[in-house]
Chains A and B, each alone.
Chain A
Amino acid sequence: MKKLQFSIYRYNPDVDAKPRMQEYTLEVDEKQDMMVLDALIMLKEQDPSLAFRRSCREGVCGSDGLNMNGKNGLACITPVSSLKGKKVVVRPLPGLPVIRDLIVDMEQFYTQYERVKPYLINEDKTPPARERLQSPEERAKLDGLYECILCACCSTSCPSFWWNPDKFVGPAGLLHAYRFLADSRDTATEQRLDELDDAFSVFRCHGIMNCVSVCPKGLNPTKAIGHIKSMLLSRAV
C-alpha cells in the first residue's frame, strides 16, 4: 500500500471566515493509479462535507474543471501519477467566485459566452427545404472550434479574464465567436465583428497562450482569437 497526499481548498461561506487548505491521505495499492476525480470521490467518503462538481466522469461534460498542482484541467481525465510533487494540491478554478470548496460561480463565464451569440444566425428569407449544405472544405473550417465543452479551464487560466471578466470575452467565448464567424451558413459576420470591435472584448488577449496549454480537449483558442483579430484588421484597413 502507498499513501497519496492531498491538500484541498476548503471554504464554506456559511461556516468559515476565510478559505483554508485541508490535508487528506488516501491509501491505495502500490501499483494503482487513478484519476484525480476518483481520488476526490474516495476522499468524499472519508469526509462527506467536501464539495465538488462532476457528472460524466470521462472528459465530455466539462463539469469538473479544477486547478491541480497549479494547472487547470478536468479532474476526471487527469491521472494522479501525471502530477509532479509530493502531494496533489487541488483548488477551484482561479478568478471565479467560490460558492463552496471546489465549486465556483460560473455566471461571469456564461455571460461572456452569451455575449457572442453562440448560435447560427441566417437571415436568408427563403430557407432551403431540407438543410443548408456546406462543402467539405467549409465544414473543415469548424474543426478545432466546435469541440469546446465549456469547462472554463481556459478562461480561468487567462490573466486578462481574471482582471476584466466583465469586459473581456475570454478564450472560450472567443473560440465560439470564431466558430460562427467561420461558418459558411452564418450571415451575421459584420454584426458579430461590430460587437467585438472594442479595446476589451478581443484585443485584451495578449497571446500568452495559457488557454492552449490547459485546454483538456487540445483546442487552440489563441489561434481562433488571431483569426478574429485578422478579420477585424482586414475590414479596418
Chain B
Amino acid sequence: MVNVASTFGRSGTHDYILLRASALILATYAIFMVCFLVATPNLTFEAWTGLFGTLWMKVYTLLALTAVLVHGWIGIWQVLTDYVKNSFGRGVLQFIVSLALIVYWLTGLFVLWGV
C-alpha cells in the first residue's frame, strides 16, 4: 500500500471512480454545448442568457464546473507525480493548479448567480 495525502479521493479506487464519473459529465456537457452552437446559428446575447437563465442549465453548468475541479485536481496530481520529482516543486505546482481550479469553480458560481 502506497500512502499519499495530496490526492483527492480516499483511495486509488475512489480516485478512479471520481475521474471516470467527472469525465462522463464533462463529455455530455461538451456534446451538449456543441449541439447548442450548431443548432443556434444566430448566437445573440438573448440566446445565451436564455440558455443559462434556466435553472436546469445553471445546475448542469455548476455540475460541469465541479467535474472540472475534481478531474483537474486528480489528473494534474497524476501528471505532476509522474514528471516532477522534487516534492517542494510538486507541492507548489499542485497548490497553484488546485487554487486556479477552485477560482474557476467560484467564478462560475457567481457568474451563474447573476444570469
Which A positions have Cβ atoms within 8 angstroms of B?
A: 159-160, 163-164, 167, 194-204, 229, 232-233, 236-237
Contact across chains for A167 and B17 when beta carbons are under 8 A apart: no
B3, B12, B82, B83: the one contacting A203 at CB < 8 Å is: B12
Report the nearest B residue to A231, measured CB to CB: B13
Residues of chain B at interface, number, CB under 8 A: 17
* 7 A-B pairs with C-beta separation under 8 A: A197-B12, A199-B12, A200-B2, A200-B81, A201-B1, A203-B12, A236-B17
| A198-B1, A199-B7, A200-B4 known; A233+B13 contact, CB < 8 A | yes
Q: How far is the CB of A55 from chain B (nearest CB, A)?
A: 33
CA distance A163 to B9 in the complex (A): 21
Given the complex, which residues of A lie within 8 Å of B11, measured CB to CB?
197-199, 236
CA distance A197 to B15 in the complex (A): 10
Q: Is the interface of B mostly helix, strand, loop or mixed?
A: helix
Given the complex, which residues of B lie within 8 Å of A163, measured CB to CB?
81-83
Which B positions have Cβ atoms within 8 angstroms of A?
A: 1-4, 7, 9, 11-17, 78, 81-83
Given the complex, which residues of A lie within 8 Å of B1, measured CB to CB?
194-198, 201
Q: How far is the CB of B86 from chain A (nearest CB, A)?
A: 14
Closest 4 interchain pairs by CB? A203-B12, A163-B82, A236-B13, A200-B2
Contact across chains for B2 and A236 when beta carbons are under 8 A apart: no
Contact across chains for A201 and B2 when beta carbons are under 8 A apart: yes
Contact across chains for B2 and A233 when beta carbons are under 8 A apart: no
Given the complex, which residues of A lie within 8 Å of B78, measured CB to CB?
199, 204
CA distance A202 to B12 in the complex (A): 8
Given the complex, which residues of B lie within 8 Å of A237, measured CB to CB?
17
CA distance A212 to B17 in the complex (A): 25
